[in-house]
Structure 1
């Protein structure tokens, strides 16, 4: 009986250590970016030794997966299902973009640090590809009530890809536009097609 109790306590301690490591990784990935985060920095922040990090996460992919899952659970993407109830195309677009830009605004430093590293990091590209379907669903939900086919539909798709792009939003914010201004700008672009 004592052996079973000790194994359970050990499993609880191991899980707590794993959670500390994941929390440290998320904090560092958000503050400096995944590629500027060393295993040593994660270990120091988690209060463990480097070998402990490697024991829990033998590969960088495993660490990135755990970090992404934690970040995603704490910061769910906007839900386009709610936008589907809005029949008016521009009202739906404005509501969706407002929610997306609030999400970007709340997480801007973290998103910048993470998304900046994706292009050069295969494990991050894989993780982002898994989430890209969610962003495609948002864009498609915004596109549904707009009429058009052929070239017009291609342009609408391109405009909406731009409208839901973090880097396009960030550039507009850096040029002094508020979220409401950016919604107006993007709605005007789509309306002009």
Structure 2
């Protein structure tokens, strides 16, 4: 790689690092291009040269942040046929991810309306897919399935985890047990 190409890549990485820092501390709604440029030590024009729009910058920021995380593994949960075990395993994995990524995830979910449209719809689709996967093994009448899906959607919500584990100081195990019990009791 030529020295010029290395400098371009270094500048791009400084911008991405700055975006992760700004989004993780201030949140996306306060993460203006100016704030990111200042943190990266570049001009706004330089940011736009590397990332032509907010969607591209947010995607690079998200990919970089996620690369440093241990995301949940829905494929492993899908292999579990027993509804209660799948739900408990999935919530345990999901709540661990929420705990480990709490500062960034709090800002992302708080500022969800300010996210670029594609990123916002991707986040919503991912959240819905997780809830659908954990609710899928439950069978029964349509009304029962609707209730179970609503409760699983509530249980998988970042804000539910935050309320139980941060605001009310439950352990992860207590929160998982409470949400699993709620779904199982209501789904009977």
Distance 1:63 1:35 in 2: 14
Gaps spanning 5+ residues in structure 2: where? none
Higher helix proportion, which one?
1
Question: What's the CA shift for 1:122?
Answer: 5.4
Greater Cα radius of gyration, structure 1 or 2: 1
Query: Does the aligned pair in 1 maintain the 2:29–2:115 contact within 8 Å?
Result: no
Whether 2:176 is the aligned partner of 1:183: answer yes
TM score, norm. by length of structure 2: 0.88
Aligned in 2, Cα 1:60/1:133: closer, same or farther, shift over 3 Å? closer
Distance 2:169 2:57 in 1: 36
Number of matched residues?
185
3-state SS of the aligned residue for 1:36? coil
Q: Which of the numbers 63, 71, 74 marks the counterpart of 2:68?
A: 74
Gaps spanning 5+ residues in structure 1: where? none
Whether 2:94 is the aligned partner of 1:100: answer yes
Distance 1:89 1:167 in 2: 23
Greater displacement, 155-164 / 47-56: 47-56
Question: What's the CA shift for 1:104?
Answer: 0.3
Query: Does the aligned pair in 1 maintain the 2:55–2:119 contact within 8 Å?
Result: no
Give 2:149's aligned residue.
Answer: 157
